[in-house]
Amino acid sequence: MSITSRSLATFALACCGLGLVAGCGGGASAKPEIVYKSSGSDQAGGNGSAVPVAAIDGTGTFTGTVQLTGTAPPPDVIVAKGTAKRDGEVCAATVAIVDQSLEIGESNGIANIFIFLDKAPPGAQVPAVPTGPAVFDQKGCVFIPHAMVTRTNQQVLVKSGDAIGHNTHTFPKRSRVFNQLIQANDRKGFPLIYNRAEREPFPVKCDMHSWMQAYHLAIDHPWGTTTNAKGEFKIEGVPATSLTFRVWHERAGGKGGFLERALKITVKKDETVTQDLKFALSDFGQ
Question: So where are the chain's domains?
Answer: 55-125+223-286, 128-220
Band of residue 93 on the pLDDT scale cut at 50, 70, 90: confident
Higher pLDDT: 168 or 51? It is: 168
pLDDT at 277 over 70: yes
Q: Is the pLDDT reported for residue 219 higher than 50? A: yes
Asked if 55-125+223-286 and 128-220 have one fold, the answer is: yes
What is the H or E stretch that residue 202 is in? Answer: strand 202-205
- Of residues 40 and 285, more confidence is placed in 285
Question: Which one, of 244, 238, 239, lies nearest residue 264 by Cα?
Answer: 244
The pLDDT value recorded for residue 228 is 98
Assigned CATH topology for domain 55-125+223-286 = Immunoglobulin-like (2.60.40)
Which has more pLDDT, 188 or 2?
A: 188
Rounded-to-integer distance, Cα 211 and Cα 182, Å:
17
Alpha carbon separation from 59 to 40, 98, 119, 187, 223 (Å, rounded)? 21, 40, 16, 37, 11
Q: Among the listed ranges 80-84, 183-187, 222-226, which one has the minimum average pLDDT value?
A: 80-84
Q: In one letter, which amino acid is 29?
A: S
> What confidence tier does 55 reach under pLDDT thresholds 50, 70, 90?
confident
Task: Identify the three-state secondary structure at position 226.
Answer: strand
For residues 284 and 262, what is the distance between their CA atoms, to the nearest angstrom? 18
Residue 40 CB contacts under 8 Å (≥ 6 apart), including other chains: 119
CA distance 217 to 118: 11
Q: Kindly indicate the confidence band of residue 46, based on its pLDDT and cuts at 50, 70 and 90.
A: low
Could you tell me if 116 and 151 are in contact, meaning their C-beta atoms sit under 8 angstroms apart? no
The pLDDT assigned to 94 comes to: 87
Residue type at 145 in one-letter notation: P
pLDDT band at 252 (very low <50, low <70, confident <90, very high): very high
Share of the chain above pLDDT 90, in %: 74
pTM over 0.75: yes
State the virtual CA torsion across 238, 244, 249, 252 in degrees, nearest 10.
160
Q: Quick one: CA dihedral 41, 44, 50, 51, positive or negative?
A: negative
Average of pLDDT values for 37-60?
62
Compute the mean pLDDT over every residue in the chain, rounded to the nearest whole number. Answer: 86
- pLDDT band for 82, please (50, 70, 90 cuts): confident
In DSSP terms, 235 is beta-bridged to: 62
pLDDT at 222 over 90: yes
Return the higher-pLDDT residue of 25 and 252.
Answer: 252
pLDDT bucket at 85, cuts 50 / 70 / 90: low
Neighbours of 125 (CB within 10 A): 10
Closest C-alpha to 217, from 193, 243, 197: 197
- For residue 26, which amino acid is it? G
Check whether 272 has a pLDDT greater than 60. Answer: yes
pLDDT at site 32? 34
The pLDDT confidence band at residue 89, using thresholds 50, 70 and 90, is confident
Higher pLDDT, 11 or 260: 260
b vs e for 259-274, b when ≥16 Cβ sit within 10 Å of the residue's Cβ?
bbeebebebeeeeebe
Question: For residues 252 and 15, what is the distance between their CA atoms, to the nearest angstrom?
Answer: 65
The single-letter code of the amino acid at 279 is: F
- How is residue 157 annotated by DSSP? E
130-156 pLDDT per residue, tens: 999 999 999 999 999 999 999 999 999
Fold observed for domain 128-220: Immunoglobulin-like (2.60.40)
> Tell me, what's the pLDDT at 16?
42
